Every structure is written in structure tokens, then in C-alpha cells.
Structure 1
Amino acid sequence: MSNKVTKAVFPVAGLGTRFLPATKSVPKEIMTLVDRPLIQYAIDEARAAGIEEFIFVTSRGKSALEDYFDRAPELEANLKAKNKTDLMKVLDSTNMDSGAIAYVRQNQALGLGHAVWCARRLLGNEPFAVLLPDDVIQADKPCLQQMVEAYQETGGNMVAAMEVPQDRVSSYGVLDLKEDMGNIVSVKGMVEKPKLEDAPSNLAVIGRYILSPKVLQNIDNMETGAGGELQLTDAIAKEITDSDNVYGYRFKGERYDCGSKSGFLQATVAFGLARPDLRDDLEHYLEDVMAARKAAQ
């Protein structure tokens, strides 16, 4: 089996209920962070890591997501006629080659493990990446690219991990470390949303994975776990028992949970401040807001 990772799964079947009423008609993954949809950040990150085949696990009501990556002939013609070359380049970055994207339906909401399993026939016997678009990571070198480079050393299975405050461990899957080698850690256990007193560490798993096809076989043989769902964490944890080849990777970068309103707003500010064309106006506005709040206290 090759160690090269060229396929990625994007689980995007969720209803996005935390963002209602917007998500009544707009898929959450199309909601814009500054001027790009969440899904574009995930796609760009995957491209930078050498991903060539993009597999979306979708559900009913996601047609806008599919249309986003298609060509828009009328819009392209309009921009060309007006000689708006910069905007044409921006638009071109959203187009995907024919056959590069595949869409698979998840017709039952049975969890992340089940969503990944839905893509099994397109993944074959190759390692693959999983990216959760809700987790947006601001980094000089894209997170998945960092992981792919580390994966060349380890093989097996790798999850992105970050240190979280002790009082937040119960919100995450947490790694039980076998050996800490700096950026890479070997894992002897994974605990899903532990109580503070039961947490083996404060190193939490976030939404980037590089997985072996054996994980798909594990999901095949699993019974439903917490919440009546097939948990991806359980399928990865079985690889610890069977093959002792699960690693965590401490990525360099800042992660924003854009599945929550607060995280989405924080990401909007952070990515806005990172943009030279927006930074000055946004900084002045934020300074004025904070000054007004202090004056009112």
C-alpha cells in the first residue's frame, strides 16, 4: 500500500441547525468567512497538501454546495467583457476539474464514522484524509500539508491535535499518550469527551485525519456507539489495539470552531485582520468599539 495521500473526504451532510435560520436555505459550508465559503478554505488546504480527488459526503438540500464548484459561464463572460481580470482569477480558483469531485449521499444521520464509511467504494485500498470544514485553521503552512509531511515518517493513522484548557477537555476527544516526541505523539488510547478528572491529557483531537483503509473495515464491523451513531473515534481506537499505529500531530496554527457562532465571529475577525486590504479599517473599528465599551463602564 502506498504512503501517498491523494484522496480526501469532506463530511458535509449536517443540517447546520446552530446557524438557523440562515441554514434553512444555505448549506452551512457555503456560509462566508470574510469573502470565501468555509468549504473553500478546506479545499484550498487539501490542494496544498497534494490532494487530487475530493469526495463530498452530502445529504438533501446541498445542491448549492455542488453548484459552487461548477463553472459559471454567464458570470465568467460578464467579468471577461468588463476586463475584470483579478475577479476572473478569484473565480477560477473555485472551479474544479471534471471528475476531481465526487458526491456521495449519506441518507441517514448516523455520525461521522458512518459519513466516512459512505465514501468507502471511492477510497479503495489507499490511505486518505478527512477534513471537517467547521474546523478552520489559520497557519503559515496549511495544517493538512504539515500532517502529510509528518505522515511520511510514521504511516499508520494520524489525527490533528492541539492543547486545550483543562476545563474544556470534556468537549473533545482526548488522546492518551504512549510517547511524546514533540510535534508527533504515539497514542495508546482515545477518550471521547471525558470528565475533567478522567481525562488522560489535554491534547484534543480536531477535524483533520489521515487514515488507513483498515479504519473503513473497522467501521464495517462496528455496532453503533454513543448516541446511536458510528463513531470515527472508535474505529481509529481499534487500530491502536490491532496495529499500534495511531499518532497525534501537534500542528502549528490557530484553529477556529466555525461550527459555533462565537468561533465563526472570532475567525471572521482573525482572517479580516490578516488581510492587508481590510486590516486598517477593521483595526480602527475594533479600537473604537473597545474604547466605547470602556467609556461606558
Structure 2
Amino acid sequence: MTTVRKAVIPVAGLGTRVLPASKAIPKEMMPVVDKPVIQHVVEEAVKAGIKEIILVTRSGKSAIEDHFDSHYELEHQLDMKNKTEILNSVSKIIPGDVTIISVRQPEAKGLGHAVYCAARAVNNEPFVVILPDVLVNNYQQQENDLQKMVRAFDDNNAAQIMVESVPQDKVHLYGVTDCKGIKPAAGESTPICAMVEKPKAEDAPSDLAVVGRYVLPARVIELLADTKPGAGGEIQLTDALDELLKEQTVEAYRMTGKTYDCGNKLGFLQANVAYGLQHPETAEGFKQFLAQQD
């Protein structure tokens, strides 16, 4: 049984890249086909064995918490009309043994600060960090990438950071891992010797970019307590991970799935197309529609 039971999901961002849609609706509640982005992410975590979801939130994000709460009037109406399948889709969003709690990030001070806001809830246990902007699509795979990362953490006793190969002209947009020239096969991990935040293409140590999934030991929370503001005047998770690298092994896990950045308009549209072509209710009709477009 895995030792990793908790996931920290920072949802306090303003969603400026998808305005005006996110002006009144949290960006995490924007739908990919028939589920908001945050539900796709929570389902990914649950499949990986996570039993406690810790949302790091702020004012104006209550719709996220409401989505995972029961809605008696709606459920009663669906029950009365014998709409069982739809009823199950809204009343059984998460299994009964999974809990969702919220903690506040009073001001935006970076990803590291957001994770540290969950310190009491993490309670000195290993934990997952999931960035909800990024969907990881493991369609038709028996296990998702997060499951494999959690297993690697348990087997190797090493922090896992998900990476994917990106084009050389895109590396400046990401944190990039230095694995001493070793490129693990998809679904495998290899030790990291350093991480470089948004390097120039000519200075990048590899094309393995960090893509928003981490499995971390409790020690990271202690390191974040002492992490000073870095890039952009914010407390960066990467800086704490650099300190962790000095103490213990941290590994890059190369993903097998495909990512969609729903935090920007193009990525959001791409996710809807990909998931729409996979959904049993929409796949055939959507495929025909796309074939008819110029």
C-alpha cells in the first residue's frame, strides 16, 4: 500500500490567461467536455490512491468547493425523474473514502508559498502536488502517470518530478531538469542533478521540462519554511527542491501521457477536442463534425 495519501492542489490563481471567461468563474471550473478541469484533476489523484485532497484557495473560489459538495435539491429532482445515470454523475463525483478540505492562501506569493499554506494539513506526511491548469491525458492506459510516480516514490524512496520532452525553442518557458545527459524512457525515472528555471535554448541542460506533477517527502515543507523569495519576488517550489537535491535523491519521471495546458486559451481548446473525441457520448458526432470543417 502506498504511503502517499495526500494531494495539494493550488487553486488560488486569478486565471488571467483565460480572461474574460475567468472573471466571475474560477478557471478551474471551466469545463472540458462535461466536467470542470478541477474534477478531471481530482479524479486523476483518486486513481493514484490519494485519499485527502487539500485545495489551496482564496476568496472568490467557493464554486470549486461547492462542486464537490452535495446538492440536495438537484439530486432529489434527478432521483424523482429516475435520471439515475445523471444522478450518479453529480452525487458520486468522488468516492466516499476521499475527503476534500480547503486552506487559504491570503496573498499570491508563488507556488512554494501556496504549498506551504497546506503545511498543517500535510502534517509531516509525503504528498503530491498537482497544478490544476495542466491536464494529463492517459487515455486507454491501465495506469495514469501519477500512479506510476507514486509507486516509484514508494519503491525508490526518492521524490518524483514529472517531465516531458519539449521542443528546443520552447524550453525557455519551463523549468528544465539536468539529468547528466540521461533521458529516461517514458514511464521511467532517473536522478536529477540540477534544475534550471526557464533557461535560454542554448543554455538548457536537456529538453525535459517540468509539467506540474510532483510526489514529495514531508521534508519539502520544512525547506519551504526557510525558502526566501526568488524569481518574481515569490517563494518558488523549485528553490526548495534545489535544497532537497543537496540532501537526497530527486528523480525525473518521464510521462507516458499527453499534457494540455488549460490555463491558456489554445490549450483549453485542444483539451476539449482531445477529450471530446474520447468521450463515449460525443466521440462519433464530434468526429463527424470536425471532418466537415474546412
Q: Is the 8 A contact 1:57 1:106 kept in 2?
A: yes
Matched residues in 1 for 2:9 and 2:162: separation? 15
* Within-5 A mapping of 1:31-42: 31-42=30-41
Question: In structure 1, what is the equivalent of residue 285 of structure 2?
Answer: 281
Q: Is the 8 A contact 1:12 1:58 kept in 2?
A: yes
Match for 1:163 among 162, 165, 169? 165
Matched residues in 2 for 1:155 and 1:29: separation? 32
SS of the residue aligned with 1:41?
helix
The AA in structure 1 aligned to 2:209 is: A
The CA deviation string for residues 3-37 of structure 1, in whole angstroms up to 9 with x for no partner, is 61000000000011122222121111111000000
* 1:22 correspondence with 2:21: yes
Supply the RMSD in Å over aligned alpha carbons.
Answer: 1.6
Matched residues in 1 for 2:92 and 2:111: separation? 28
In structure 1, runs of 5+ residues without a counterpart are 293-297
The AA in structure 2 aligned to 1:124 is: N
The CA deviation string for residues 207-264 of structure 1, in whole angstroms up to 9 with x for no partner, is 1100111111111111100000001011111111122x10010121111111110000
Q: Is the 8 A contact 1:71 1:95 kept in 2?
A: no
SS of the residue aligned with 1:175?
strand
* Within-5 A mapping of 1:1-297: 4-94=3-93, 97=96, 100-139=99-138, 140=141, 141-178=143-180, 179-182=182-185, 183-243=188-248, 245-289=249-293, 292=294
The AA in structure 1 aligned to 2:107 is: Q
SS of the residue aligned with 1:55?
strand
Matched residues in 2 for 1:44 and 1:125: separation? 24
Q: Is the 8 A contact 1:180 1:186 kept in 2?
A: no
Matched residues in 1 for 2:82 and 2:2: separation? 44
Question: In structure 2, what is the equivalent of residue 295 of structure 1?
Answer: none
Q: Percent same amino acid at aligned positions?
A: 47
Taking structure 2 as the reference length, the TM-score comes to 0.94
Cα pair distance change 1:286/1:181, threshold 3 Å:
closer
Please report how far the alpha carbon of residue 131 of structure 1 lies from its aligned counterpart in structure 2 after TM superposition: 0.7
Higher deviation after alignment, 31-40 or 178-187: 178-187
Taking structure 1 as the reference length, the TM-score comes to 0.93
